[in-house]
Chain A
Amino acid sequence: MTFLQPWVLAGLPLVVLPLIIHLINQRRFQTVPWAAMRFLLAARALSRGYSRLRHWLIMALRMLAVAAVILAVGRPLSRGWLALAAGGRPDSAIVILDRSPSMQAVAAAGGASKLDTGRRQLAAALATLRAGRVMLLSDPGRGPEEVAAPDALVELATAGPLAAAADVPALVQSAYEYIREQAAGTTEIWICSDQRANDWQPDDGGWTGIRDALAKVPQQVRVQLLAYPVPAGGNLAIRVTNVRLETLGRDRRLVVSLVVSRQEDGERMTVPVTFETGGIATAVEVEIVGREAVLKSHTIPLERSAETKGFGTVSIPADANPADNRFFFVYDEPPPRRSLVVAEEPASAQVLELAASIAPDRGAARVDVVSRGDLAAAPWETAAAVLWQGPLPEGRDAELVQQFLDRGGQAVFFPSDRGAGGRFAGCSWDDWTEHSRPVVAESWRTDQDLLANTLAGSALPLGDVEVRRSCGLTGDFVPLATLPGGAPLVARSSRDERVTFVATTPTARDSALAAEGIVLYAVVQRAIDRGLVPLATARQVDAGPTAATLAAASGGAWTRLVGDAGSPSTESGLHAGVYASGERLVAVNRPAVEDTSPPVADERIDSLFRGLSFTRITSSAGDTTSLVQEIWRAFLIAMLVALVAEGLLSLPRSAAADRGARLPRRLEAAA
């Protein structure tokens, strides 16, 4: 229990005042000559059960009344039903808000969302606690910002909802840094969250360090979690998985694929899905069974006069979480598939050119084979990927490649026949190894990156690719495929994820990459696809750091075309919507994991703060009760009840006297 006037508690020893008065009263006895001693002796011999109990009850009630008065004057605070943790008025409070889309779930139609409820409850609690300094922490990049008054939390734009997931570990880390550097005295960290796994990342190794660091700071730190873990019931989420513009002669149409999902299995139901683009709305019904309904390649014809570039939204009717009922998309004609081949061996150049020149959608693809000497004149600005076979770039060449990578291009390096030499992206080629007989990849990552399984779920036939000669690779890399003995066959640089190394060449002398061309083709085309993304004038990005970086890279030139109104410009890339940046269109939407991420178990959360002063307060959306409220009235009522009870218990004495006065007449009548 917390008190606003804790110094009053110094008067708690006064609780024993009734006892002292009783003892003094015992000493201030009167002496009376008495005749009827036999009855006094008999009374003392009788059982004292009820009388003794009453005596002590009266004493206890008097002490309780005194204690209640003292506690009431101390202005006690109630911290909710489950959080009667010890604590006092904090010198500073850091509010960590989980502003992710899942926090916009409401308990009832028209009710307050979890985020709004949390902000309101926090504002009321901090106002009651009279925290010395209130800091809001909603973006780890910006650090805590001071809030003028707790009530401002309700209205503050930077405390409003986002389309991006919350990075709770980073936020707590940021809070720790603030405490270490600036906070003095008692600090409370209030975390308002719905405990979603993607926000909390409980398996993140950084939690241990944060916990240990918080435990070691000299200031007293208390962590309070205001949790809203109950998911919104019956909530549906919609997400566009693919949008492409198809042109058939003079006709154009949009081909949209989407997913309607829910977190729990439910009854079969039909969901009306509304498409809106170019001011024209069309609707289609999607039947959902189980957790997911997929609508593939839904076509929306476009007017002939319409521009090739545009945007639209897909939406479903309002439900428990309005944040996942709408999805923005943009479309444009895809950029040309252009790639560069830089190879010292003509055979390799030929194979790589062939692999890059065949577009998967039968569209046009252009490959420029560039010699090392003409690199400066190569069309780097329009290329999506560079396929490099030969010594790693150095000097001016390295600068050109690095600029290309920084713009968003992809690079796939194949080794030079000369072997060791040069260093790029933290890696360098080592010596060649001639295998006595062909070897194949022992294992490779099938879940992501360039060697991932196909959309149909089948693995790439890398096991069929025989390698006769492989070049060693040293440096910081993540192996994507390994040969027997652990040597990497395909690896990605740890320093730059856009750089991939293949430890052999596609020539027949070194490997069967060309003969078993599917793997090489998939690797090359996937790299080109990745490189095309930054080149596209219409781009879908997840709200979060990536989008924020894009917005920052554009120099703050993002103009909102449609989306969340009133979002501050400092949070570009974190709010859903369609933005224009020059000639480019960017659709920002919530990350896919937001739709499916389950809540983290309470015990798991508790374990993250083990060893710290941690309190959980579980609430629900729309809950209007205060987290912290003054309860001195309850103590005054307790005092009154104690006094009334004490009076009632003391009353029988006079009643007994009356009874004694009546005794003679009654007995005389009997005699």
Chain B
Amino acid sequence: MFNDRQPRSFLDPAVLARLAAVPFVARRPMVGTVSGRHSSPHRGSSVEFAEYRKYVPGDDLRRLDWRAFGRSDRHYVKEYEADTNLRLCLVLDTSGSMAYSSGGISKIDYARRICGALGYLASQQGDAVGITCVADGIVRSLPSRRSPAHLRLVFDVLEEARPAGPTRLPEVLHEIAETARQRAVVAVVSDLFCEPEALATAFSHLKFRRHDVAAFHLLDPQELAFDFQRPTRFLDLEGGGAIFADPLDITDRYHTALGAWLESLRRVVLESAIDYHRIVTDEPSEQVLARFLVGRAAGRSLR
């Protein structure tokens, strides 16, 4: 357990201060419990006019539009958009593969930065933040809450997350889709080392449940380049066996397999219409988050 004054390794106040200038918005209407920054499927009391509706007995007479009555001799009630808060469900992949680092920052540390910044930003604008750590199943889960104290718990979970075991991300995403009672922004931070077809069904399931899905796909530069010079014994970080390979012999075919997998993944995200961001971990996380936030702010018209 961390105390309040202890700085979090994955949080950079300067970066958070700069990112706070851009609101974190959902691409879909959210159903919240309190007023917030996000559009709601319901009518509410915001200043943004939504529509006229015929008066029915029982409506609050204060919402009757007398001017409209004067013009048309009919009773209309003026309705306004409701602004609500959202639930941000951070899905952090803590499988063994996330521990990989070719020299720079590891994928799990990079994921912590993404999740920490998103949680902080959401919490700052009154949204509920929860987290689910995924490996062979749900390793640890915190439901979404709005309180600052809960945010500390989320940070604690991030701090304590240790990558280990295989990945069963699609199954966990199906479980989240089934168990989340209300719409949420589901931010998946993972290397997505699983079958693209399985991911496609999981994303579709989340979309069906009207969740706003964002995927942060983390890849190490070495995983793309594969520029080993010597014969190498590769140990599976997810607990599988070891493979001995001569890079001279296998590099071309590795790239072929990687290219095919990335192409399949590209088709999956296009068909699922999720907010997909592929990130090479040598790219600063601030740029990635800024691109993510700006992209969402520009496309907030969806309801």
A binds B: yes
8 Å CB contact of B225 from A26, A34, A661:
A661
- Per-residue B-contact encoding for A34-49, CB less than 8 Å = 1, 0 else: 1111111111101010
| Complex Cα spacing A51 to B253, Å | 8
Residues of B close to A26: CB separation below 8 A:
231, 246
8 Å CB contact of A40 from B98, B224, B248, B254:
B254
Tell whether A657 is near chain B: CB-to-CB under 8 Å.
yes
Q: How far is the CB of A47 from chain B (nearest CB, A)?
A: 8
Closest A residue to B261 by beta carbon equals A39
| Complex Cα spacing A504 to B17, Å | 149
A37 close to B234 (CB less than 8 A):
yes
Q: How far is the CB of B254 from chain A (nearest CB, A)?
A: 4
- Per-residue B-contact encoding for A58-83, CB less than 8 Å = 1, 0 else: 10000000000000000000000000
Using known A-B contacts A51-B249, A660-B227, A660-B255, determine if residue A668 contacts B278 with beta carbons closer than 8 Å: yes
Residues of A close to B226: CB separation below 8 A:
657, 660
- Per-residue B-contact encoding for A9-50, CB less than 8 Å = 1, 0 else: 000000000000000011011111111111111111010101
A33 close to B100 (CB less than 8 A):
yes
Closest B residue to A46 by beta carbon equals B253
Q: How far is the CB of B248 from chain A (nearest CB, A)?
A: 6
Using known A-B contacts A664-B278, A667-B262, determine if residue A37 contacts B230 with beta carbons closer than 8 Å: no
28 pairs from A and B in contact (CB 8 Å cutoff): A30-B228, A30-B233, A31-B232, A31-B242, A32-B228, A32-B232, A32-B233, A34-B234, A34-B237, A35-B100, A35-B223, A35-B238, A36-B100, A37-B236, A40-B234, A42-B261, A44-B250, A51-B250, A55-B246, A657-B226, A657-B227, A660-B258, A663-B259, A664-B280, A667-B263, A667-B266, A670-B266, A671-B266
* A contact patch SS: helix
B254 close to A671 (CB less than 8 A):
no
| Complex Cα spacing A387 to B207, Å | 141
Tell whether B243 is near chain A: CB-to-CB under 8 Å.
yes
CB-CB contacts below 8 Å: B84-100 with A: 96-100
Closest B residue to A55 by beta carbon equals B249
B255 close to A659 (CB less than 8 A):
yes
Residues of B close to A653: CB separation below 8 A:
247-248, 251
Tell whether A52 is near chain B: CB-to-CB under 8 Å.
yes
Closest B residue to A52 by beta carbon equals B249
Using known A-B contacts A656-B255, A660-B225, determine if residue A40 contacts B233 with beta carbons closer than 8 Å: no
| Complex Cα spacing A229 to B274, Å | 88
| Complex Cα spacing A81 to B252, Å | 44
Closest A residue to B276 by beta carbon equals A671
A35 close to B237 (CB less than 8 A):
yes
B225 close to A33 (CB less than 8 A):
no
Q: How far is the CB of A24 from chain B (nearest CB, A)?
A: 10
Tell whether B219 is near chain A: CB-to-CB under 8 Å.
yes
Tell whether A652 is near chain B: CB-to-CB under 8 Å.
yes
| Complex Cα spacing A46 to B251, Å | 12
- What bracket does the count of chain A residues touching chain B fall in? 35 or more
A43 close to B234 (CB less than 8 A):
no
Residues of A close to B276: CB separation below 8 A:
671
Tell whether B294 is near chain A: CB-to-CB under 8 Å.
no
- Per-residue A-contact encoding for B47-78, CB less than 8 Å = 1, 0 else: 00000000000000000000000000000000
| Complex Cα spacing A297 to B167, Å | 119
B231 close to A43 (CB less than 8 A):
no
Tell whether B208 is near chain A: CB-to-CB under 8 Å.
no
Residues of B close to A33: CB separation below 8 A:
99-100, 234-235, 237
Q: How far is the CB of B14 from chain A (nearest CB, A)?
A: 26
Tell whether B193 is near chain A: CB-to-CB under 8 Å.
yes
Closest 3 CB pairs of A and B: A35-B97, A42-B257, A43-B253
| Complex Cα spacing A656 to B224, Å | 11
Using known A-B contacts A34-B236, A660-B227, A667-B262, determine if residue A46 contacts B257 with beta carbons closer than 8 Å: yes
Q: How far is the CB of B251 from chain A (nearest CB, A)?
A: 6
Tell whether B269 is near chain A: CB-to-CB under 8 Å.
yes
| Complex Cα spacing A231 to B82, Å | 115
Residues of A close to B236: CB separation below 8 A:
34, 37
Tell whether B183 is near chain A: CB-to-CB under 8 Å.
no
8 Å CB contact of B278 from A48, A52, A671:
A671
A663 close to B230 (CB less than 8 A):
no
Q: How far is the CB of A51 from chain B (nearest CB, A)?
A: 6
Q: How far is the CB of B294 from chain A (nearest CB, A)?
A: 16
Residues of B close to A37: CB separation below 8 A:
234, 236-238, 240, 243
Residues of A close to B211: CB separation below 8 A:
none
Closest B residue to A659 by beta carbon equals B255
| Complex Cα spacing A25 to B191, Å | 32
B235 close to A32 (CB less than 8 A):
yes
| Complex Cα spacing A209 to B270, Å | 94
Q: How far is the CB of B230 from chain A (nearest CB, A)?
A: 6
CB-CB contacts below 8 Å: B145-193 with A: 191, 193
Closest A residue to B98 by beta carbon equals A35
A39 close to B238 (CB less than 8 A):
no
Residues of A close to B234: CB separation below 8 A:
32-34, 37, 40
Tell whether B139 is near chain A: CB-to-CB under 8 Å.
no
| Complex Cα spacing A582 to B233, Å | 103
A48 close to B253 (CB less than 8 A):
yes
| Complex Cα spacing A41 to B260, Å | 13
| Complex Cα spacing A490 to B257, Å | 104
Residues of B close to A58: CB separation below 8 A:
248
Residues of A close to B245: CB separation below 8 A:
40, 43-44
Tell whether B112 is near chain A: CB-to-CB under 8 Å.
no
B254 close to A43 (CB less than 8 A):
yes
| Complex Cα spacing A25 to B263, Å | 35
B193 close to A35 (CB less than 8 A):
yes
| Complex Cα spacing A52 to B96, Å | 32
B237 close to A29 (CB less than 8 A):
no
Residues of A close to B6: CB separation below 8 A:
none
Which interface residue of B98, B220, B252 has the most chain A CB atoms within 10 A?
B252
Q: How far is the CB of B179 from chain A (nearest CB, A)?
A: 28
Q: How far is the CB of B108 from chain A (nearest CB, A)?
A: 11
Residues of A close to B248: CB separation below 8 A:
55, 58, 650, 653
Q: How far is the CB of A33 from chain B (nearest CB, A)?
A: 5
Residues of A close to B252: CB separation below 8 A:
50-51, 652, 656
